[in-house]
């Protein structure tokens, strides 16, 4: 069965999105006899003004007056709906009455609904910044190995891409676009008040050359997460100063609540399959093609009749490396508390075997959260400890023997047997391509990562309105990676085995001192002032060693000294940096209508140059709760309306620890008195003016609610300008260097975000929906006079990504194909005079009569035109059902399978079936596919317009059906839920590769598909018990 389909996105995708929007919004509101009454609060029986009174299923309504009285025309069989901020919504049948009173129950949850912000919390109604808040009920369902996967597609303006579906693989997150060329573009993560360094600590292996990126957030158990707040605008992120320009993700873990001990056990088991394999030529098609090409060239056939008989069915390499994967998860949590003390503790075991043979991950996590709180003193501890074991398979962007298992399986000769008659692995005539099964089975590549992080805090209330707080935290990681290439592989055979051991450590220490003053004056002024000092130190060190030429494979990497001494290779290093900061924020609320937030942070970093040690990052935001004004207070259909605006500066200090300093390194050898000494020379010029990259951001937002908040949402327009980008610029040769780093570049991002939440149908059957939509435009605005910068190298292609003023960052850069040369074309008079019929016709962009590198042009952008997500939740009695659709419209990806298949570096490599089952021949003069005869031009293997494909897609991300078991007679079990979940069940896309989201470059902005670990379709069965 095929799960990938072709659609016309320009006509379908946007129409479908708008239709879905209209469906959601038309189901939330539409009946007469005058009914009078009074609405009172059940707490104190006083009249409640400002309560919305609506006729159910209509937009007709009124609002209670200053004493809580109302009057509304209504039919005898009508139902009145009473709703207001701070009260639980109530429906009351008229039943022919003309007068009655209604008592509303105070909704403490709604009154006190707060969101986590930097260094504190804030009432949602008082927010002036752009913050997306998700609680555990809104997270993605199913197998999620890391926290960021919980929110993929769930928040407007946040693009989360699973760069590799390998168990524990890296994830790319962009909040409101990419801001930097050479610095990090990932957001800052703060877990329970502890800012962490989320750089991967698992070292790369020089043996495997795979560049595998592991997700550092694997150390955190997703089931321990209570909520995630995503801070997007400068008003929300400026409090984090030089680390706020890429956005901030605040993660809050679960805490205990007052009451007796509660025990939760959650277990699930799942199985996984590859969503799509690449359609390559079958063995017989491959044999026929190669023989036909040789015939077209006037040469002897590649395969004789006798060889064809011996080959038989050959080998389907993709089938041999893929398997049914599985995942198992067990979670046990304990929580409870008393008046002043509460606790939460959990343990988690997760085991996943990947769909590629020999790949997998195991995780063990323990967590403890404790809180003590009385009138004068508050104390808390949050602690997380984990052990993660990774089983890697080679899966990188290198060529030949360094290519990954998936890539090798796609291009390996299908006539090759897995094993020879003598039991050895079959080896191809292509001396530089491995047997993919041998590559998976005979390469040992494992890593263990220990990570412990947490914080302890104490807060003392000097006065009811004034408190001081101390927060201290640490994050310590250690990882060891052992790699060994046995002599069963080509590279291992040539060197009698290659062994390598890499070890790295990372530590992070935090000390924060803050003071907070919060008070309400005369019931109309609310003021909160925050001030503080923070100090954070980071250190990373590593040591690695390797050797070759072993007498046996038995010891793997456990005895490097057993290798030949001449092959010994040792390396080590350490880097440190410190961040010292002063921060302040003022929140002011007048009459619950007019809101002001102003913040300031001064960051001093050891990374900055001597002349720019401190950076200053202010922000200001205003909010106006228009609904509270008299001219809107009696508009019943409108339940909330708030206008927001903010501007501020944030920075990016992730420019490297020592780029402002002069660096020394080993250079050459000299012998004095018979002793060999290693020389030292300057390796980097200093720059005392080097500093952070600065982003100025404007945000205009609108929050709204209709029909008693049955329809709520927000809209935001933002404009970000980033300056002082870190670039390498030419310097005079007299310095001894060709380039040095300077803060000179510029970039901008602007866009629109829309979020909608609806309650379409209420009890007994409930249907709730949510939609998010994002549109972002990226543009490089300044390169300090450089014409462009070329990046990107994978396989046999290089310099396929361009950074150019006026264009999106890392646009695709290459040749345009204008069809295929045909018989009868006057080829010698074209820019490709040496071409043959059946070869691609390249466009002479500059019109100089020849095809050169000057004819390369921009072929597409890696950034989508817009993204969206639609979630629906249904409930009826004990049954709940939900599904989540994720969509991306526009944007491109470079599919290297095309360039390497249509212009193979070696004749005996497999090819895409699409290109060659309908290849050009004299009797089949297609204008789409080449003949397959090796072309006579050097640029044939480079990126071209045919290989840059549309990356649009619509995906059924998750679907879940759950049943709450009836256990009234079992007093020991409070609740039990059985659930089944499906993930990635189908994807609608034009893209011909394995998946439009994958990227061979991990968290980089460069997007290329070089057969990364494939996306999986997952089916899960689970049980959630509460005791």
CA angle 506, 511, 513 (to 5 degrees): 160
CA angle 955, 958, 960 (to 5 degrees): 145
> In whole angstroms, how large is the CA radius of gyration of the chain?
32
Residue 113 has pLDDT above 80, yes or no: no
Phi/psi of residue 621, nearest 5 degrees: -145, 145
List every span in the chain annotated with CATH 2.60.40.1120: 31-111
Confidence at residue 211, expressed as pLDDT on a 0 to 100 scale = 52
Confidence at residue 907, expressed as pLDDT on a 0 to 100 scale = 87
Q: What is the mean pLDDT of residues 518-539?
A: 95
Residue 3 has pLDDT above 70, yes or no: no
Q: Output the furthest CA–CA distance in the chain (Å, rounded).
A: 113
List every span in the chain annotated with CATH 2.40.170.20: 114-273+324-662+681-782
Confidence at residue 127, expressed as pLDDT on a 0 to 100 scale = 92
When mean pLDDT is compared across 141-155, 217-231, 257-271, 910-924, the lowest value belongs to 141-155
Q: What is the mean pLDDT of residues 528-540?
A: 97
Please enumerate in sequence order all residues whose Cβ is within 8 A of that of 110, keeping only pairs 6 or more positions apart, or say none: 85, 86, 87, 88
Confidence at residue 46, expressed as pLDDT on a 0 to 100 scale = 77
Residue 355 has pLDDT above 50, yes or no: yes
Locate 369 and state its tokens. Answer: 């959260």
CA atoms within 13 A on the CB side of 250: 25
Alpha helices in 229-299 (DSSP H): 234-237, 283-296
Residue 7 has pLDDT above 70, yes or no: no
CATH T-level topology, domain 31-111: Immunoglobulin-like (2.60.40)
Instruction: Report helix, strand or coil for 495.
Output: helix
Do residues 1003 and 161 lie in contact, with contact meaning Cβ atoms separated by under 8 Å?
no
Predicted confidence band of residue 665 (pLDDT cuts 50, 70, 90) = confident
pTM of the predicted model as reported, rounded to 2 decimal places: 0.88
Please enumerate in sequence order all residues whose Cβ is within 8 A of that of 283, keeping only pairs 6 or more positions apart, or say none: 311, 312, 313, 314, 315, 316, 414, 415
Average confidence score pLDDT of the chain: 90
Find residue 622's DSSP bridge partners.
596, 645
Reference 390, options 164, 145, 556, 167; nearest CA is: 167
Q: Is the peptide bond before 764 cis (omega within 30 degrees of 0)?
A: yes
Phi/psi of residue 850, nearest 5 degrees: -150, 155
Do residues 602 and 584 lie in contact, with contact meaning Cβ atoms separated by under 8 Å?
no
Reference 330, options 382, 270, 390; nearest CA is: 270
DSSP strands (E only) in 16-149? 34-41, 52-55, 61-63, 69-73, 79-84, 87-93, 99-104, 114-117, 120-123, 131-135
Find residue 92's DSSP bridge partners.
80
Instruction: Report helix, strand or coil for 821.
Output: coil
Give the model confidence (pLDDT) of 387-428 as tens digits: 999 999 988 777 766 788 999 999 999 999 999 999 999 987
Q: Which of 445-449, 630-634, 898-902 has the highest mean pLDDT?
A: 445-449
Yes or no: is domain 114-273+324-662+681-782 CATH 2.40.170.20?
yes
What distance in Å separates the CA atoms of residue 57 and residue 39, rounded to the nearest whole number? 21
Confidence at residue 49, expressed as pLDDT on a 0 to 100 scale = 81
What distance in Å separates the CA atoms of residue 692 and residue 609, rounded to the nearest whole number? 9
Instruction: Report helix, strand or coil for 938.
Output: helix
Please enumerate in sequence order all residues whose Cβ is within 8 A of that of 360, keeping only pairs 6 or more positions apart, or say none: 167, 351, 352, 353, 354, 390, 391
When mean pLDDT is compared across 224-228, 304-308, 484-488, 1003-1007, the lowest value belongs to 1003-1007
Predicted confidence band of residue 734 (pLDDT cuts 50, 70, 90) = confident
Q: Is the peptide bond before 80 cis (omega within 30 degrees of 0)?
A: no
Confidence at residue 105, expressed as pLDDT on a 0 to 100 scale = 79
Q: How far is CA 423 from the centre of its chain?
A: 44
Confidence at residue 124, expressed as pLDDT on a 0 to 100 scale = 87
Q: Say what percent of the chain tops pLDDT 90.
A: 67
């Amino acid at each position: 069965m095929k799960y990938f389909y072709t659609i016309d996105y320009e006509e379908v995708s946007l129409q479908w999105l708008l239709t879905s929007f209209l469906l959601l919004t038309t189901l939330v509101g539409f009946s007469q006899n005058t009914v009078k009454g009074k609405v009172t609060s059940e707490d104190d029986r006083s009249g409640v003004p400002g309560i919305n009174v609506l006729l159910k299923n209509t937009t007709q309504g009124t609002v209670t007056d200053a004493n809580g009285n109302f009057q509304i025309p209504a039919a005898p069989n009508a139902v009145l709906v009473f709703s207001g901020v701070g009260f639980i919504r109530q429906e009351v049948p008229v039943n022919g009455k003309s007068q009655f009173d209604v008592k509303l129950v105070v909704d403490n949850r709604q009154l006190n609904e707060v969101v986590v912000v930097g260094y504190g919390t804030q009432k949602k109604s008082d927010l002036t910044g752009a913050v997306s808040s998700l609680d555990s009920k809104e997270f993605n369902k199913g197998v999620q190995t890391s926290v960021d996967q919980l929110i993929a597609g769930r928040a407007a303006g946040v693009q989360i891409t699973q760069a590799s579906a390998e168990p524990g693989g890296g994830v790319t997150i962009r909040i409101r676009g990419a801001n930097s060329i050479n610095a990090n573009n990932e957001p800052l993560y703060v877990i329970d008040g502890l800012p962490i360094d989320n750089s991967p600590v698992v070292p790369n292996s020089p043996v495997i050359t795979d560049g595998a990126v592991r997700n550092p957030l694997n150390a955190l158990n997703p089931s321990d997460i209570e909520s995630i707040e995503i801070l997007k605008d400068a008003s929300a992120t400026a409090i984090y100063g030089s680390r706020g320009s890429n956005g901030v993700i605040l993660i809050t873990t679960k805490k205990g609540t007052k009451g007796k001990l509660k025990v939760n056990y959650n277990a699930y088991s799942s199985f996984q399959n590859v969503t799509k394999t690449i359609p390559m030529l079958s063995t017989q098609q491959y044999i026929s093609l190669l023989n036909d090409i040789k015939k077209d060239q006037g040469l002897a056939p590649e395969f004789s009749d006798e060889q064809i008989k011996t080959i038989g069915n050959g080998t389907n390499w993709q089938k041999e490396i893929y398997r049914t994967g599985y995942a198992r998860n067990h979670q046990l949590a304990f929580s409870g508390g008393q008046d002043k003390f509460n606790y939460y503790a959990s343990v988690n075991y997760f085991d996943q075997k990947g769909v590629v043979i020999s790949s997998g991950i195991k995780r063990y996590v323990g967590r403890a959260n404790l809180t003590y709180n009385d009138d004068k003193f508050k104390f808390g501890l949050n602690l997380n400890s984990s052990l993660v074991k990774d089983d890697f398979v080679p899966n990188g962007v290198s060529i030949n023997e360094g290519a990954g298992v998936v890539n090798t399986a796609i291009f390996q000769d299908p006539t090759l047997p897995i094993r020879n008659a003598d039991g050895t692995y079959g080896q191809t005539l292509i001396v530089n391509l491995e047997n993919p099964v041998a590559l998976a089975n005979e390469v040992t590549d494992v890593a263990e990562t220990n990570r412990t992080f947490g914080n302890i805090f104490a807060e003392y209330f000097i006065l009811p309105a004034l408190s001081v707080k101390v927060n201290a935290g640490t994050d310590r990681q250690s990882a060891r990676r052992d790699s060994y290439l046995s002599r069963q592989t080509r590279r291992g055979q040539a060197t009698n085995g290659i062994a390598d051991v890499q070890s790295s450590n990372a530590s992070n220490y935090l000390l924060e001192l803050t003071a907070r003053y919060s008070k309400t004056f005369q019931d109309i002024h609310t003021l909160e002032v925050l001030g503080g000092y923070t100090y954070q130190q980071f250190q990373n060190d590593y040591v690695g060693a390797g050797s070759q030429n072993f007498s046996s494979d038995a010891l793997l990497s456990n005895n490097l000294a057993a290798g030949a001494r001449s092959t010994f290779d040792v390396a080590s290093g350490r880097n440190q940096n410190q961040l010292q900061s002063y921060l302040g924020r003022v929140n002011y609320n007048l009459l619950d209508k007019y809101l002001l937030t102003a913040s300031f942070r001064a960051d001093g970093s050891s990374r900055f140059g001597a002349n720019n040690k401190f950076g200053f990052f202010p922000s200001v935001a205003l909010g106006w709760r228009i609904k509270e004004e008299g001219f809107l207070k009696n508009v019943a259909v409108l339940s909330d309306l708030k206008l927001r605006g903010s501007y501020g500066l944030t920075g990016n200090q992730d420019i490297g620890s020592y780029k402002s300093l002069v660096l020394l390194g080993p250079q050459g050898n000299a012998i004095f008195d018979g002793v060999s000494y290693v020389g030292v020379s300057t390796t980097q010029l200093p720059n005392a003016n080097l500093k952070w990259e600065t982003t100025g951001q404007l945000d205009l937002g609108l929050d709204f609610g209709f029909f008693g908040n049955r329809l709520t949402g927000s809209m935001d327009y933002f404009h970000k300008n980033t300056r002082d980008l870190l670039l390498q610029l030419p310097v005079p040769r007299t310095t001894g260097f060709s380039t040095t780093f300077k803060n000179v570049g510029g970039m901008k991002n602007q866009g629109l975000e829309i979020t909608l939440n609806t309650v379409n149908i209420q009890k007994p059957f409930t249907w709730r929906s949510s939609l998010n939509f994002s549109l972002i435009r990226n543009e490089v605005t300044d390169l300090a006079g450089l014409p462009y910068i070329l990046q990107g190298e994978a396989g046999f292609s290089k310099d396929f990504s361009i950074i150019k003023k006026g264009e999106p960052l890392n646009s695709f850069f290459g040749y345009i194909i204008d069809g295929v040369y045909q018989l009868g074309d006057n080829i010698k008079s074209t820019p490709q005079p040496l071409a043959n019929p059946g070869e691609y016709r390249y466009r002479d962009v500059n019109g100089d009569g020849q095809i050169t590198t000057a004819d390369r042009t921009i072929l597409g952008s890696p950034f989508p035109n817009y993204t969206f997500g639609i979630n629906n939740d249904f409930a009826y009695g004990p049954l709940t059902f939900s599904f989540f659709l994720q969509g991306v419209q526009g944007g491109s990806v470079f599919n290297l399978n095309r360039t390497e298949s249509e212009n193979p570096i070696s004749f005996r490599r497999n090819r895409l079936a699409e290109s060659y089952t309908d290849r050009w021949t004299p009797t089949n003069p297609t204008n789409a596919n080449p003949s397959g005869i090796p072309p006579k031009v050097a640029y044939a293997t480079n990126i071209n317009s045919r290989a840059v494909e549309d990356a649009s897609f619509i995906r059924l991300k998750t679907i879940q059906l759950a049943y709450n078991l009836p256990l009234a007679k079992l007093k020991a079990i409070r609740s039990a839920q059985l659930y089944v979940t499906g993930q990635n069940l189908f994807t609608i896309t034009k893209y011909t590769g394995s998946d439009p989201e994958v990227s061979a470059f991990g968290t980089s902005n460069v997007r290329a598909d070089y057969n990364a670990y494939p996306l999986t379709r997952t089916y899960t069965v689970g049980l959630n018990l509460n005791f």
